[in-house]
Structure 1
Amino acid sequence: MSEAQLVHIVDDEESIRKSASFLLRTSGFETRTYPSGVAFLGEAKRAEPGCVLLDIRMPEMDGLEVQRELNARGVTMPVIVLTGHGDIGIAVQAMKAGAVDFLEKPFEKDHLLEAIATAFGRLAHDQDSDQAQRDAEVRIGVLSPREQDVLRGLVRGHPNKTIAYDLGISPRTVEVHRANLMGKLKARSLSEALRIAFAAGLAA
């Protein structure tokens, strides 16, 4: 790799900015850090292309607002959102708006690097989106109707109990269907399953 790939880190917590920047720099990336969404938006249009590590909960503008503004300005850098525990519904909103992935704090190095690789893969292969949709539709097609129902509930950001209530089944049955669909999709995380669902148009 002749030129290091650039990651823009947007988080109001200095400790997160420092630790993520150190982790990425020691893994061969360049980083730029910003203490707020407003600060990043001030630079975004003329910033060097790369991917964006964007915290959801920030003062002034939260991550969803920053993401919407990036979309409105035509800034196409792929976004990975950082969430606290219990922010899955918000993370789903971010992914519907185009985020590549989400990571729950505190995140592990391997998960971060995997998400960054996915983001740069999207940056390099946007033209392959039609094929990605076809592949995702094939993978969704192997799910049973009930497993697809559970996946739609996850796409809406609902917890297992809500999905169980909506479908008239027990939370334990939802857990079984959820485990089965993750296995059939070969998805190692909820965000990976959601990416497949969105690519297949299941969110519509």
Structure 2
Amino acid sequence: MDTAKDSRSTQVYIVDDDAELCESVSWLLDSAGIDSTICHNADEFLTEFDRQRPACIILDVRMPRMSGPRLQEQLNRIAPHVAIIFVSAHGDINMSVSTMKAGAQDFLEKPYNPQRLIDAVQFGIEGASVRFDNYLKSRQLSEKLALLTPRELEVLALVVEGLPSQNIGRRLGMSVKTVDVHRTRIKMKTDADSIGTLARDILRFDVPFP
């Protein structure tokens, strides 16, 4: 993996109230060709955070005002595409399990092995880029689905379930010809290559129906 290239496209943040540790981690990442931004608390991070870029966040569990898990909850709402690596000096197994269940990529105990941290960040950089691309595709698909009428959405939902036109018509009380007209309109409005491709993308990127 080209780390320098990935670190330019994915922003790495170090969020910890321990200034010395932040500098140490920043120096370690810099030695591996990874640029980073230091934030000493959650509020500072939220000010610096660019939602329009993929992000990998090295996040301390216990911080004043807003803890790491609380920041994770907020990010899950506003930026579910970020990769989070939690760090903690307390060895809290329950906290580790809960943050991983909430979507964290990794949980490292302080003092952590330098190479393991670098490996985790490199993995996070790559994963964040993929998550961000999927997030953008999901948003784009959602915007296209918003153009459909309620009836077209009903037809599309049944296509996603895997039903053929005849079964869809029977389910919705319409002729097969009418179903096919709706399918054609859906394809045109969403600019999809095919209805099948659209259905697969909706499932692949977990796109909610309006």
> Which category describes the TM-score, using the shorter chain as reference length?
0.5 to 0.7
Deviation at 1:14, TM superposition (A): 0.4
What is the match of residue 39 of structure 1? 44
Is the contact between residue 78 and residue 123 of structure 1 (CA under 8 Å) also seen in structure 2?
A: yes
> Is residue 5 of structure 2 the alignment partner of residue 3 of structure 1?
yes
- The structural deviation recorded for 1:69 is 0.5
How far apart are 1:119 and its partner, in Å?
1.3
Structure 2 residue corresponding to 1:104, chosen from 92, 105, 109 = 109
- Structure 1: runs of 5 or more not aligned: 129-204
- What is the deviation of 1:123? 2.3
Does the residue aligned with 2:54 lie in a helix, a strand or coil?
Answer: coil
Shift, 1:103, TM fit: 0.6
Q: Distance in 1 between matches of 2:33 and 2:6?
A: 6
CA deviation vs aligned residue, 1:88-126 (integer Å, no higher than 9, x gap): 211211111100001100111111012112212322445
Equivalence for 1:24: 29
The TM-score with structure 2 as length reference comes to 0.56
CA distance in 1, matches of 2:31, 2:103: 28
Shift of 1:48: 4.3
- Greater Cα radius of gyration, structure 1 or 2: 2
SS at match of 1:85: coil
Q: Is 1:68 matched with 2:73? A: yes
Residue 85 of structure 2 is matched in structure 1 by 80
| DSSP-derived class of the 1:30 partner | coil
Separation (CA, whole Å) in 1 of partners of 2:21 and 2:48: 20
Match of 1:51 in 2: 56
TM-score for the superposition, normalised by structure 1: 0.57
Preserved CA contact (<8 Å) 1:44 1:75: no
Instruction: Report how far residue 87 of structure 1 moved.
Output: 1.4
- What residue ranges of structure 2 are gaps of 5+ in the alignment? 135-210
Tell me the matched-pair count: 128
What per-residue deviation string (whole Å, max 9, x for no partner) do you get for residues 37-79 of structure 1? 1111222244743300000000000000000011111352100
Contact 1:41 1:70 in 2 (8 A): no
Structure 1 residue matching 2:24: 3-state secondary structure: helix
**Structure 1 counterpart of 2:32, one-letter code:** S
Percent identity between matched residues is 35
Q: How does 1:39-188 map to 2 (within 5 A)?
A: 39-46=44-51, 48-126=53-131
51-60 or 66-75, larger mean C-alpha shift: 66-75
Q: Which residue of 1 aligns with 2:141?
A: none
1:124 and 1:41 map into 2 onto residues whose CA distance is 19
Helix, strand or coil: the match of 1:3? Answer: helix
